[in-house]
Structure 1
């Protein structure tokens, strides 16, 4: 990790003679990009493996301690919280990270915008709580929705401090904070079940996971806000953030309307089954790609004027994500009928068919989710927003088509929509900028094709697998990765990625920094 180098007075000085020093203090040290990206990718991947493991343990343990109805109540609140949270950040953390040069006055202004908006949104949540409870016909939802305002305030207080740590590529510190927060949140949730075995245990864990990182961001960024004052030229940052918020607003419907519709028309039991299937597969997948944006967005932003290096950086990281994630998804889909009862318990067996359907969307999301890195780092927040609108409209249409058939119908329709959207996404991204759809096709085909072949092979080989569940699943995992790797070896781009993966092994980690960032 690069040394901090941020002056202790960087959050308070206002004299013109200190402005350049403050602006430089918000950036990584000169010449650190190559080292920071290489180490950051490795550190973030390790941290995310711990986070994903924690999430899976959370699903397993809490599913045994709490009932489907408890998860259903929380799932009813989740879309409301996600909708409100769209506006608290207003894309301003990404604006801070992406801007070529930024000063204390600009960061300070954005901090106070984040705080004011978060406080307002917490009040909106409290006022809307009875309406949400009436919508679902579930009175327990009211108190939980109002309490979630505390999370909104906690996130708002730490948004700009997080942005500064990300901009400075302090990836090791961010990784430690993320892992500690995830583990602390799980520990608090489990401990709370001994006090009150209800949905409040889940709330206690999520609140812990919101407050703890904010405290750590303040302690580690060493930047402190001053009194708010007018700043010239701030509109550029606000406009950029508005594009990000527009995407998030549209994407909200693509990610959350399924929960609302299932909860409304099929009740908390069906929603609980759907929510557990989603959380066990698609949520961990998003937790692989989303945190890597902390590494890739600031790195790509600093390479945006060098097309060859920009393209090389992205095309070295994206296939590695596919290599790691897709064989695991293929295994999980093929073994869903055995995996779900084994992991969650027999009472969740009905969730296995939903899990299987959502799994097909999971075969494409590790490819599609990182597209946001490209939009943001290239400053194309308007294009990002427009794609979000397209995604929202097609996803909502899919939800409505599948809704008459219950949670399973929604899951199948959503997976189909993901396959239909994918080629258009990469054609849209490739209309401008260093990357074309042909680049993505060449880099991704070995692993997407390999994962689908692995899925088919495991499915047909299931009767031949050992009777013991653990041995059968371990054999299926090994088979999935073996077939995916063998498929990749048939392509030049696949062989190139496999060589890169070997260079990133721990024993050779010092040599793993991307050469394009020299």
Structure 2
């Protein structure tokens, strides 16, 4: 009975997280194409480059301390205040450092035009890191409904501000305004929702206690950041801001399924796995189920994007972005290959295997940087995306081997929960691509092709899943009842 209640609680919180992501997805599905019509690819590229720097420095600034608050046995007000003031001090220092070295950083990224933007983004650090403790407290308390609400509100207001500014002719400043509005609203909302009010107290002893675990988590996050963001840096340096803008737009669209399902799931699984510290069998069972269901839900969306990439790019972004449809398709396929890995990082964090996570993330970063650079040299933007697909195959296999070994899950069961959902999604996508190839000479409308591909893909995948995943679907239906 306890397992059923725990599972229901996890699913309920995942539901809240996914609901917020769906709303944000719907918003981005509307706002990103509008902004893409109003702004040039180079403008998207310069802001995307600036946000790479911000995200990178935020990883250093947080040092994984908020993860330590989530994993701790009980809440401690003095520890929370220690983390808050540490984050604020480090964020302010990083902001000053970036402001006075913006020109050097911009040239290092191959985008000297971004100097002025980096100077402005230096003021984002205290806002972002100031909300870390409040966010960690909501996650620890499994209060994902409140977290979801304020994430939605911040994204909505940020997008509205950006669209209004773009319509007013402010150009790239619209994207800058979006970042600041979203960050400020999120910070205020999370502080209110968590009822956290920092006091002027600090403990070096408690900071040292968190730093050992947190530094390894931060190191792994840093290496994963390199894996995710290095393609954009490689493209900016090797191919220019226009190609970086095209990559950024295609990446935003292809990443929407992950933003809806995966990010919500990972945020819930870390505290959920942490609560099962004394029940390794239950935790391994939860790992299997979450891996299987993540693959079942995400793989068809992402490989489906690959199948309908050409009409989708034309319909969503317009004629000026049509050239980038191969980029959209390959990026979606690369993300689709990684769908089974959605539960792996939360599992390793919760089980205290931060060292394993760090070394694997470092190896992954090295392989991704080398692969994308070679891809850029060989075949430009398409070469980068193709390299990501190839690299991700080996990364997914390696991740699965490490995690299932830690969880002591038999190889046969591990392979079954990964191969069947991925195989079904790949077969579905291939059939849809063949169908669209047959229809294209006879159908001029990209919208009709997109709808036909989506409809056919849904029918084919549902048929394949009913044939291969009956047990998983039955378990989910029984749990829901």
TM above 0.5, yes or no, is: yes
> Following the alignment from structure 2 to structure 1, what is the Cα–Cα distance between the partners of residues 411 and 197?
43
What is the rounded CA distance, in whole Å, between the counterparts of 1:126 and 1:284 in structure 2?
A: 35
Q: CA deviation at 1:75?
A: 2.1
- The residue number in structure 1 matching 2:401 is 427
For 1:232 and 1:269, the matched residues in 2 are separated by 49
Structure 2 matches for 1:269-308, cutoff 5 A? Answer: 269-282=242-255, 284-308=257-281
Give the superposition deviation at 1:32.
Answer: 7.5
- Confirm whether residue 455 of structure 1 aligns to residue 432 of structure 2: no
Deviations 1:160-207 (A, max 9, x none): 011011101111111111111111111111011133431111111111
Pair 1:70 & 2:47 matched: no
Shift of 1:359: 2.1
Instruction: Say which of 356, 372, 386 aligns to 1:399.
Output: 372
The answer to whether the Cα contact below 8 Å between 2:290 and 2:343 also exists between their aligned partners in 1 is: no
Please give the secondary structure, in 2, of the residue aligned with 1:148.
Answer: helix
- Local SS of the residue matching 1:198: coil
Distance 2:121 2:137 in 1: 26
Paired position in structure 2 for 1:442 = 416
Deviations along 1:443-472, one digit per CA (max 9) or x if unpaired, are: 222210110000110111114447243333
Matches of 1:446 and 1:35 in 2, distance apart? 25
The Cα of 1:484 is off from its aligned counterpart by 2.3
Q: d(CA) in 1 for partners of 2:233 and 2:423?
A: 34
Give me the whole-angstrom Cα distance separating, in 1, the residues matched to 2:429 and 2:46.
34
Residues 4-153 of structure 1: matches in 2 within 5 Å? Answer: 33-135=6-108, 138-153=111-126
Structure 2 partner of 1:240: 213
What residue is the counterpart of 1:24 in the other structure?
A: none
1:455-497 CA-partner distances (Å, limit 9, x unpaired): 1101111144472433332232222233223222333xx1122
Cα displacement (A) at 1:139: 4.9
For residue 320 of structure 1, the aligned residue among 277, 280, 293 is 293
Task: Check whether the contact 1:150–1:207 (CA below 8 A) recurs between aligned residues.
Answer: no
Partner of 1:473: 450
Task: Please report how far the alpha carbon of residue 356 of structure 1 lies from its aligned counterpart in structure 2 after TM superposition.
Answer: 1.7
CA 426–175 in structure 1, closer or farther in 2 if over 3 Å, else same: same
**Match status 1:368 vs 2:341:** yes
| CA pair 283-394 structure 1, distance change in 2 beyond 3 A | farther
Q: Secondary structure at the match of 1:169?
A: coil
Residue 484 in 1 paired to residue 458 in 2? no
Normalized against structure 1, the TM-score is what?
0.86
**RMSD over aligned Cα, in angstroms?**
2.1
Q: Comparing both structures, which one devotes a greater share of its residues to helix?
A: 2
Go from structure 1 to structure 2 and tell me whether the alpha carbon gap of 1:133 and 1:455 turns closer, same or farther (over 3 Å shift): same
Evaluate the alpha carbon distance shift between residue 367 and residue 286 of structure 1 in structure 2; reply closer, same or farther with a 3 A threshold: farther
Which whole-Å CA distance do the structure 1 matches of 2:279 and 2:96 have between them? 45
Give the superposition deviation at 1:231. Answer: 5.1
Instruction: For 1:33 and 1:47, locate their aligned partners in 2 and report how far apart those are by CA, in whole Å.
Output: 21
Distance 2:411 2:460 in 1: 25
Deviations, residues 28-66 of structure 1 (Å, cap 9, x unaligned): xxx984553232121112111112222222321110111
| Distance across 2 between alignment mates of 1:388 and 1:379 | 15
CA separation in 2, counterparts of 1:170 and 1:142?
Answer: 39
- Report which stretch shifted further, 65-74 or 139-148: 139-148
Of the candidates 327, 337, 348, which is equivalent to residue 310 of structure 2? 337
Give me the whole-angstrom Cα distance separating, in 2, the residues matched to 1:439 and 1:128: 52
Specify which of 156, 176, 186 is matched with residue 149 of structure 2. Answer: 176
Output the CA distance in 1 between the equivalents of 2:290 and 2:269.
9
How many aligned positions are there? 474
Matched residues in 2 for 1:378 and 1:394: separation?
26
Q: Which runs of structure 2 are paired with 1:218-237 in the superposition (5 Å)? A: 218-230=191-203, 232-237=205-210
Deviates most, 319-328 or 203-212: 319-328
1:352 pairs with 2:329: no
